[in-house]
Amino acid sequence: MSSPDINQQAISLKTNLELILQENQKLAAQIDFVQLAAVIPHLQRADRLFIIGAGRTGLALKAAAMRLMHFGFTVFVAGETTTPAIRKGDLLIAGSGSGTTATIVRAAEKAVAEGAEVIAFSTSSDSPLANLANLVLIIPAAQKQDHGKTISGQYAGSLFEQALLLLTDAVFQTLWAADGTAAEKLWERHANLE
């Protein structure tokens, strides 16, 4: 590749990163942080935490699961072979932009049937997932099939997935700041079979 092509790509990369950051800042200004703070007591009173999301949403929630485990919560990712049965006293944290993803809705139905609580991260408060949840945190981002670029110039549900990662990291940071546990102590829980 010639030098001008690399320079043009570098400009494009910078422009696209700025778009992503600007969209996340705009979205953050629309978040109901009181609603987000309501997640914390649900986490603190749960016996165990279960995480479920499909695709990139699932990856963002797996990152949240790791941080919550570092903090000392007992956390399982739904679908993993070692994940036990959910039961009363547990909390399912479910992410679905549309709130209609069949596997996520079925998991929430099962959690409710077993007496567990459900927290949903979604773009919609009017969906099958939202109707099952004890708490719905609305992320005002485009859904995967919103191709009109009216909410986001990014592809598919990228803004939702990015915001989900950032918001769950903010929850972790808030828990950690309030608790005061030394980073070295949290690090003892970090994976050592890498």
Where helices occur in the chain by DSSP H, the ranges are 3-28, 33-37, 39-45, 55-71, 102-113, 128-132, 158-179, 183-187
CB count, 10 Å around CB of 158?
17
Catalytic one of 80, 114, 161, 184? 161
With beta carbons less than 8 A apart as the criterion, state whether 94 and 64 touch: no
SS3 at position 137: strand
Q: Is 18 a catalytic residue?
A: no
Which residues are paired to 118 by β-bridges? 92
* Residue 107's CATH number: 3.40.50.10490
Specify if 192 maps to a domain: no
Q: What pLDDT score does 145 carry?
A: 58
Q: What pLDDT score does 4 carry?
A: 63
pTM, entire model: 0.91
| Tokens found for residue 1 | 């590749």
CB burial class (10 A; 0-12, 13-18, 19+) of residue 191? exposed
Q: Is the pLDDT of residue 147 over 60?
A: no
With beta carbons less than 8 A apart as the criterion, state whether 176 and 170 touch: no
How does residue 1 score in pLDDT terms, banded at 50, 70 and 90? very low
The amino acid at residue 103 is T
CB count, 10 Å around CB of 95?
29
With beta carbons less than 8 A apart as the criterion, state whether 121 and 97 touch: no
SS3 at position 48: coil
Q: Is the pLDDT of residue 38 over 90?
A: yes
Q: What is the mean pLDDT of residues 22-51?
A: 96
Q: Is the pLDDT of residue 139 over 90?
A: yes
Give the residue numbers spanning the domain of 46.
3-187
Query: How many domains is the chain built from?
Result: 1
Specify if 193 maps to a domain: no
Where helices occur in 29-151 by DSSP H, the ranges are 33-37, 39-45, 55-71, 102-113, 128-132
Specify if 194 maps to a domain: no
Specify if 82 maps to a domain: yes
| Tokens found for residue 118 | 């459900």
